[in-house]
Structure 1
Amino acid sequence: MSLLSVRDLTVKFAMREQTVTALNGISFDLAKGERLGIVGESGAGKSITGFALMNLLSRPGFIDHGQIMFEGEDVVTMNDRQLRGIRGNRMAMIFQDPMVTLNPVLTIGQQMIETLMAHRKLSREEARQIAIVKLREVYIPSPEERLEQYPHELSGGMRQRIIIAIALLLDPQMIIADEPTTALDVTIQADIMELLLELCQSNQVGLILITHDLGVVSQMTERTLVMYAGRIIESGRTREIINDPQHPYTQGLINALPQQTLPGQRLKQIPGNMPPLTNIPPGCPFNPRCEYATDVCRSRIPEISHFGEVEVACHEVQRLQSNDARREVKA
C-alpha cells in the first residue's frame, strides 16, 4: 500500500463573479521513503497541492472532490480532531518563509516544547531534551542556547534548519517542503537541501518537494510531476524526465536552465505567461505558448498517454517522437 494515494483531486475557489478551478483532477502516489518533486511556474498549482494534501485550505478555497488517502485514511473526510492528530504528527509541512512559520514573540524552545507536549504525553523537561536532540540532528551548534533565543536573533539559514527540526519533532512519515530555500542564498540553499535529503533517507520519510527549480529536483527526487494550470502534464522517474522530456512545456523548462545556454548568450525562455485561473484557454491549457499546437490542441484537452515509464498529456507528443525517430534514421 502507498503511503499517500491521491485520486482525481479537484480544488476550487469561490470568487464573487465565478468559481475557478485551481487543481483539476490530479492523481499520483507516494511510497514510504520516496522523494517526489512537483515542478512548474508560479500559478501552476504546486503550493495549492501541498495545502490540499494537509487539508489546510480555507475559504474561498475548498476541495470540490477527490480522495487523499494517507495510510488508508481519507484526509478529505477527516474532522478537525482527526486532522489535528495527523498534521505535524504523521505528516508535516515546511513553508517558504521561516519568519512567517515561526512565532516572533516566542522563543525557539517554547515553540518546539509546546508542539511536542500538544501531541505527546511528556513532561516539559522530556520535551526539552527531545528538542535539543532534533536541533543537533540538523547541525545547529549550541542547541541549548538556541532554545532560549527568538527567531529574529537567528540567521535565515539557521531559522530554516529550525523549521526542519520542528517538522521532524514528531517523527512524521511524510514531509511536504514548499520552496524551502526561496529566501536563502545559493550556498545556504545547497546545505539545506543536502540536510533535508540526508534526514529523509536516514529516517525513511516520504518527501514531496515543491519547487520551480528543475536543477534541485534532479538532485533531490526519484520521481517528478510537472504541473501546468492546475493539471499534471508529465510524470515519471526524474532521470527520464530530465534526460528525455516529452511535453513541450517540460522541454521549455529544461531549456530555460542557465546551464543550457552558452556564456554571453541570452537565456532561453518559454514565450508568454501562465494563464490566470479566470481565463484558462480551451483545449490544452499550454496551447497559446506551444510552437507545436494544432487545431486539436486548441479544442480538446489531451488525455494521459504512456511513453515508456513516463506519462504525458499532449496530443502532439507521438507525432513529435515519430519525427525525431525519422531524423535519427536519416542521420
Structure 2
Amino acid sequence: MEPLIEIKNLRVDFALRSGMVRALRDVTLTINKGERLGIVGESGAGKSVLGFSIINLISKPGRITGGQIIFNNQDISKYSCEQMRKIRGDRISMIFQDPMMTLNPVLTIGTQMKETIHAHRNVSDKEAEAICLDKLRKVYIPSPEKRLNQYPHEFSGGMRQRIVIAISLLTNPNLIIADEPTTALDVTIQAEIMDLLLELCETENMGLILITHDLAVVSEVTQRIAVLYAGKVVEIGPTRQIIDNPRHPYTQGLIQALPQMAGGARRLNQIPGMMPSLRDMPSGCPFQPRCTVRIDKCLHEIPLLTAPEDGSQVACFVRQGGM
C-alpha cells in the first residue's frame, strides 16, 4: 500500500522551568492511504501531543525537536506557520473532543463552514453553500438548508459533533485526525458517531487516526492499533491481532481491564501503579516499575520495537520472540 503519512523518530519536548521534558520519544508510524489507525493509551501517554504534532498545533513551550513527518514527500515538521495553514484544515483535518470548543457560538453554522471553504478554495459564495449542504447531508443532518442559518447552541451534542465532522470534510482531506471525538457524548450517540466516521472513511477513501483510550471503540473502527506509553510506541499491529493476542504486558493490562473481560461479578483487573511523570522517568523500560514480568535487563535498557512479525511489533525484552 502507498504511504499517506510517515512519522519517523518524532521527538517533542516541553521547556519547563524545572528543565526539558520529553513528551514523545522517537515515535515512528506509517499510515497508508485510506487506512484507519487507532492510537491508544492512558491519559498522559502522549496521544493528543502526537495528533497536534502532525498538524503543528503544539502550544509553547512545546516544540518538535527531532524526527520527520513526511506528507506528500515533504517533511512538514519543518514547515513554517504559513506553509502549515495551506495543509491544516485542507489536506489534513482534525476533529477535537468538545464540539462547543470548536464551533464559534456567535456565528451561524453556514458562516463558519463557508469561512473554511473560502480559506482554502477560490469559489463563489453560492458554490461554497452547495458544498456545505452536500457535506451536511453526508453526515445525515436533517433539513440542511435550515440548519445553515442556525447557531451551535441550537443543536444537540451529537448534532454538533456531526457538524464538526462535516466541516472537517469540506475540502475532501486525505487524512482526518480524530482526538477522542465521542468523549463528551452519551453511549448511544458515541456509537452513531463512530459508525459515521467508519462509513465516511470507506466511501471517501480517507485515512483516519483515531486517538482514544477506549479499546472497545478502536476494535470496531480501526484496521491497526498503536499502543503508546509514556511517549513511546510499545506495540503496533493489526487490530484483531492486538486485541486477540496482545504481546506487551501494558497492552495485556489495558485489555484485561475492560469490563467485559472481568465478567460476572468479579472485580475489574487493573494495572498496578501509575504512569510515570515525564519529569521523573525511570531508568530502562518506562513500564518496568509496573510490570509483573520484568527482568534485570528491563531496569537498565530501553527496548526497541522489533522488526515486523506477522504485521505486529513489540518493544519488550520478555515478549520479543513470542509469548
TM-score range (shorter-chain normalised) is over 0.9
Checking the alignment, whether the CA contact within 8 Å between 1:2 and 1:71 is kept in structure 2 is no
What is the rounded CA distance, in whole Å, between the counterparts of 1:212 and 1:193 in structure 2? 14
Residue aligning to 2:247: 246
* Between structures 1 and 2, the one with greater helix share: 1
Matches within 5 A, 1:252-331: 252-306=253-307, 307-318=309-320, 321=323
What is the identity, as a one-letter code, of the residue corresponding to 1:114? Answer: E
Residue aligning to 2:33: 32
Matches within 5 A, 1:229-240: 229-240=230-241
Residue 165 of structure 2 is aligned to residue 164 of structure 1: yes
What is the identity, as a one-letter code, of the residue corresponding to 2:123? Answer: L
What is the identity, as a one-letter code, of the residue corresponding to 1:103? Answer: N
What is the rounded CA distance, in whole Å, between the counterparts of 1:132 and 1:119 in structure 2? 17
What is the rounded CA distance, in whole Å, between the counterparts of 2:7 and 2:16 in structure 1? 26
Matches within 5 A, 1:135-150: 135-150=136-151
Checking the alignment, whether the CA contact within 8 Å between 1:177 and 1:209 is kept in structure 2 is yes
Checking the alignment, whether the CA contact within 8 Å between 2:306 and 2:320 is kept in structure 1 is no
- Unmatched runs of 5 consecutive residues or more in structure 2: none
Q: CA deviation at 1:153?
A: 1.3
- Unmatched runs of 5 consecutive residues or more in structure 1: 322-331
Which is worse superposed, 273-282 or 228-237?
A: 273-282
Residue aligning to 1:212: 213
Residue aligning to 1:113: 114
What is the rounded CA distance, in whole Å, between the counterparts of 2:211 and 2:252 in structure 1? 19
Q: CA deviation at 1:55?
A: 1.0
Matches within 5 A, 1:188-227: 188-227=189-228
Task: State the TM-score, normalized to the length of structure 1.
Answer: 0.95
Q: CA deviation at 1:67?
A: 0.4
Matches within 5 A, 1:28-67: 28-67=29-68
What is the rounded CA distance, in whole Å, between the counterparts of 1:269 and 1:142 in structure 2? 46
What is the rounded CA distance, in whole Å, between the counterparts of 2:131 and 2:304 in structure 1? 49
What is the rounded CA distance, in whole Å, between the counterparts of 1:4 and 1:121 in structure 2? 26
Q: CA deviation at 1:295?
A: 1.9
What is the identity, as a one-letter code, of the residue corresponding to 2:218? Answer: V
What is the rounded CA distance, in whole Å, between the counterparts of 2:28 and 2:206 in structure 1? 21
Which is worse superposed, 312-321 or 169-178?
A: 312-321
Q: CA deviation at 1:80?
A: 2.1
Q: CA deviation at 1:81?
A: 2.2
Which is worse superposed, 116-125 or 159-168?
A: 116-125
What is the rounded CA distance, in whole Å, between the counterparts of 1:272 and 1:80 in structure 2? 40
What is the identity, as a one-letter code, of the residue corresponding to 2:315? Answer: A
Checking the alignment, whether the CA contact within 8 Å between 1:177 and 1:207 is kept in structure 2 is yes
What is the rounded CA distance, in whole Å, between the counterparts of 1:198 and 1:308 in structure 2? 27
Residue aligning to 2:98: 97
Matches within 5 A, 1:181-192: 181-192=182-193
Q: CA deviation at 1:18?
A: 0.3
What is the identity, as a one-letter code, of the residue corresponding to 2:305? Answer: I
Q: Secondary structure at the match of 2:86?
A: helix
Q: Secondary structure at the match of 1:171?
A: coil
What is the identity, as a one-letter code, of the residue corresponding to 2:68? Answer: Q
Q: CA deviation at 1:320?
A: 7.1
Q: CA deviation at 1:319?
A: 7.6
What is the rounded CA distance, in whole Å, between the counterparts of 1:25 and 1:265 in structure 2? 39
Q: CA deviation at 1:79?
A: 1.7
Q: CA deviation at 1:58?
A: 2.2
Q: CA deviation at 1:216?
A: 0.8
The runs of at least 4 aligned residues of structure 1 exceeding 6 Å deviation read: none
Q: CA deviation at 1:24?
A: 0.3
What is the rounded CA distance, in whole Å, between the counterparts of 1:118 and 1:316 in structure 2? 51
Q: CA deviation at 1:234?
A: 0.3
Q: Identity rate of aligned residues, in percent?
A: 59
What is the rounded CA distance, in whole Å, between the counterparts of 1:56 and 1:303 in structure 2? 28
Q: Secondary structure at the match of 1:11?
A: strand
The two structures, once aligned, show a CA RMSD in angstroms of 1.1
Matches within 5 A, 1:11-26: 11-26=12-27
Residue aligning to 2:77: 76
Which is worse superposed, 28-37 or 264-273?
A: 264-273
**Residues 125-184 of structure 1 deviation map (CA, whole Å, 9 limit, x = unaligned):** 211111011101000001111111111111000000000000000000000000000000
Q: CA deviation at 1:318?
A: 4.0
What is the rounded CA distance, in whole Å, between the counterparts of 2:136 and 2:305 in structure 1? 44
